[in-house]
A = this chain, B = another copy of it.
């Protein structure tokens, strides 16, 4: 029914081995054969079945990027970095989403066990560290944008703790003492790290930590709005708000603007991720920038070299972040 390498061989009057050699640009084949095979391929409209090839070669030249959802727009640059690096090495990057469901995450990792891809990158791991760690011993697996509390697994990220510290410290430097924190109930290592940075900055400045100033919620702007309402209506309200993501900050600022609060003066806002909207929203949001493209590129490069090398690189690479200062902190 479907045209296979055998049909091509027959049409070109050569053996399947020769066809394969031509198709894979091996050098030890006569010009004559090359012509004949190419003509036959053209004529029959043949395109090789990778299922056969992959099986034989035991490789697919594909790597899988596992993300939570395509909603968080800031994955985009990371993925582009991965694509570029992978493509340059002859690999394709496939993306799959977990919806933050550990079971689904495991299901997708099944593609790794079953050799449907050569390697995988977790960009929002929800499985427990031990599980991931064990898997990383048997398969080519890396973490990006996050880190595990277990070391010894290839990991490309930023120092989220330090970033949280830096942002909070900046607000404190502006004379703020009641600094609210908006974070998520869904725990990720990066959130925890950012929170810890926030704590350390307070401690560092002899400001007592007030649990009332922490708001836990979802990942969307609406949560930011509710959080802001809550934080500003406290008996002892917040005079600055640090969120672990720009989306939350923007939601928060929405509330502030609509309730006559002067952003950047009455209350300062600091976000995280430097998403495109953070500088489109008025007032513009101060935020922490992380090198998305570079993280993606780096993790793909290292992972692919791990595929090739016998002993894999299991290091942790923390790329530099930076503070972007805009209207929302009065800059």
- A: residues with CB less than 8 A from B are 47-55, 58, 60, 62, 64, 69-71, 73, 75-76, 79-80, 83, 92-97, 99, 107-108, 110-111, 113-116, 220-221, 250-251, 254, 257-258, 276-277, 280-282
Contacts and interface: CB of A to CB of B under 8 A. Distances in A.
A116 B48 CA distance: 11
Contacts of A79: 70, 97
B58 A70 contact: no
Contacts of A96: 92-95
A258 B258 CA distance: 16
A19 to B, nearest CB: 15
A256 to B, nearest CB: 10
Given A70-B70, A73-B71, A221 B47 contact: no
19 contacts: A49-B114, A49-B115, A50-B111, A51-B54, A51-B58, A53-B114, A55-B55, A70-B79, A80-B99, A83-B97, A92-B96, A92-B107, A92-B111, A93-B96, A95-B96, A95-B97, A250-B277, A257-B282, A258-B282
Among A52, A116, A257, the one with the most B-chain Cβ atoms within 10 Å of its Cβ is: A116
A254 B276 contact: no
A69 B277 CA distance: 17
Most buried by B among A58, A114, A254, A280: A280
A72 to B, nearest CB: 8
A281 B250 CA distance: 9
Nearest to A51: B55
Nearest to A114: B50
A313 B166 CA distance: 57
Contacts of A62: 116
B254 A221 contact: no
Contacts of A110: 47
A79 B75 CA distance: 15
A280 B221 contact: yes
A51 B115 contact: yes
Nearest to A116: B50
Contacts of A111: 50, 92
Contacts of A251: 280
A224 to B, nearest CB: 9
The 10 closest A-B pairs by CB, nearest first: A50-B114, A95-B95, A47-B113, A51-B55, A71-B76, A94-B94, A70-B76, A221-B280, A70-B70, A73-B73
A51 B53 CA distance: 9
A243 B79 CA distance: 28
Contacts of A70: 70, 73, 75-76, 79, 95
A53 B96 CA distance: 21
